[in-house]
Amino acid sequence: MSKVIEIRWHGRGGQGAKTGSSILSEVLFESGKFAQAFPEYGAERQGAPMKAYNRISETPIRVRSGVLNPDVVIVIDPTLLDAANPTEGGKDDTVYIINTTKKPEAIKKQLGLPDSARVMTVDATSITLEEFGQNRPNTPMLGVVARLFEDVSVDAFIEHFRNKMGPKLPEKVLEANLNAIRRGYEEVQEG
């Protein structure tokens, strides 16, 4: 990775976009990369649309602004596909990671993406409802994001999550989140 990889997350307050973005940066920083994570929201309340950002690089990152032309777009809440304009600033080769029951080809058509765009879909909502009975789709989405960084294993994401969140969560909830990360990694569809 010779350039800065810029990532934009779209979610709603309380769905974990900010936490997912932070964990992604922490895992990649621990692997030797330079990383940034920061949210963008105002006085919105839980459930309001919000964005979070990452920058990942092999060299120090000097830019401190929001991500305007993302290399990766992550949509945690599928209702934001129409409401938040997730393709704004996207490039022909932007990777789109979407929480949806739809196939990648259907999302590509819905968003009017070029054939060169890479779309990855996973039903993160169902995974989290099955694993721990709540719609907190950020953990399976982290599993999908792990596929983008071939030099960092999904196990590194799982171990970091365990170390960071283990002291804060009951064991049963922690294990459900770890399973959700792995399931996101394994159940993603790509097109």
Once rounded to an integer, what is the mean pLDDT over residues 114-135? Answer: 95
The whole-number pLDDT of residue 1 equals 39
49-57 β-sheet, strand order: 34-40, 49-57, 5-12, 72-75, 95-99, 118-122, 189-190
The distance of Cα 29 from the centroid of its chain, to the nearest Å, equals 16
The distance of Cα 101 from the centroid of its chain, to the nearest Å, equals 16
CATH number, domain with residue 21 = 3.40.920.10
Provide the pLDDT confidence category of residue 73 given band limits of 50, 70 and 90.
Answer: very high
Structural domain containing residue 99? 5-190
Once rounded to an integer, what is the mean pLDDT over residues 1-21? Answer: 89
CB 101 within 8 A of CB 137: no
Q: What is the full DSSP assignment across 15-59?
A: SSHHHHHHHHHHHHHHTT-EEEEEEE--S--TTSEEEEEEEEESS
Listed range (44-48, 53-57, 86-90, 100-104) with the worst mean pLDDT: 44-48
Whole-structure pTM value:
0.94
Per the structure, the count of domains in the chain is: 1
